[in-house]
Amino acid sequence: MAKLYFSYSSMNAGKSTILLQAAYNYRERGMHTLLLTAALDDRSGRGRIASRIGLACDADLFETGTDLRAHIAGRRDEDRIDCVFVDEAQFLSEAQVWQLAGVADDLGIPVMCYGLRTDFQGRLFPGSAALLALADTLREVKTICWCGRKATMVARLGPSGEILEDGEQVVIGGEDRYVSLCRRHWSRRQLAHAND
């Protein structure tokens, strides 16, 4: 029976690397995959999933209004699909998460989603909230804070490297805009050891 999976973490935990490796493993065994990524995230180029360690692959784009079940069913009519991989899953809408659940339940295709759990203000993204509620399998991908503890939070950096507390929920950026912190240092707005 196909399932809906959600692998989540803070920034720079290697989610895209894990996705690309898993998709490669499917293809290496002669299976067919469909990769999807958010249209609004073009850091690696439009329609491209890339990891910080240099792995990359082309992907179909989804936007807020994309009917993912219809898109996947249409692609399946063209070629067999053994697994669907979704990068930047935090940008899914609740309706799209239900559509992906339908892909697993009704079309019998496993769907593996990878994304952030919370934004820089500690709030769930809509897609992440729906995935946490609906996914059959949840997996936390761990990364560490500068102190060595598990990083579960994301801080957004301003132009001078200061931690921002207000702003739009979605601002696309990488290591230049975001840093992963443990909850303790995120709450304290502390980016490194205090100089005593």
Q: Could you tell me the CATH number of the domain that includes residue 91?
A: 3.40.50.300
Region 98-109: what's the mean pLDDT?
97
Distance from the first to the final alpha carbon of the chain: 57
Is 119 a member of any domain? yes
d(CA 143, CA 129): 20
d(CA 142, CA 12): 9
pLDDT tens string 62-83: 998 999 999 999 999 888 999 9
Average pLDDT across the chain, whole number = 89
**What pLDDT, on the 0 to 100 scale, is given for residue 175?**
63
Residues acting as catalytic residues: 88
Kindly tell me if the per-residue pLDDT of 164 is higher than 60: yes
Region 160-169: what's the mean pLDDT?
82
| pTM, two decimal places | 0.89
Is 149 a member of any domain? no
12 close to 145: Cβ distance less than 8 angstroms: no
> pLDDT category, 172, cuts 50, 70, 90?
low
Is 123 a member of any domain? yes
Is 169 a member of any domain? no
> pLDDT category, 149, cuts 50, 70, 90?
very high
- Least reliable range by pLDDT among 45-54, 107-116, 155-164, 177-186: 45-54
> pLDDT category, 44, cuts 50, 70, 90?
low
d(CA 5, CA 57): 20
The per-residue b/e assignment along 125-140, b for 16 or more CB within 10 angstroms, e otherwise, is: bbbbbbbeeebeeeee
Region 11-30: what's the mean pLDDT?
90
Is 154 a member of any domain? no
Structural domains in the chain (count) = 1
Name the β-bridge partners of 111.
4, 84
Region 84-108: what's the mean pLDDT?
96
Range of the domain at 83: 4-142
Is 37 a member of any domain? yes
Is 20 a member of any domain? yes
Is 115 a member of any domain? yes
> pLDDT category, 196, cuts 50, 70, 90?
very low
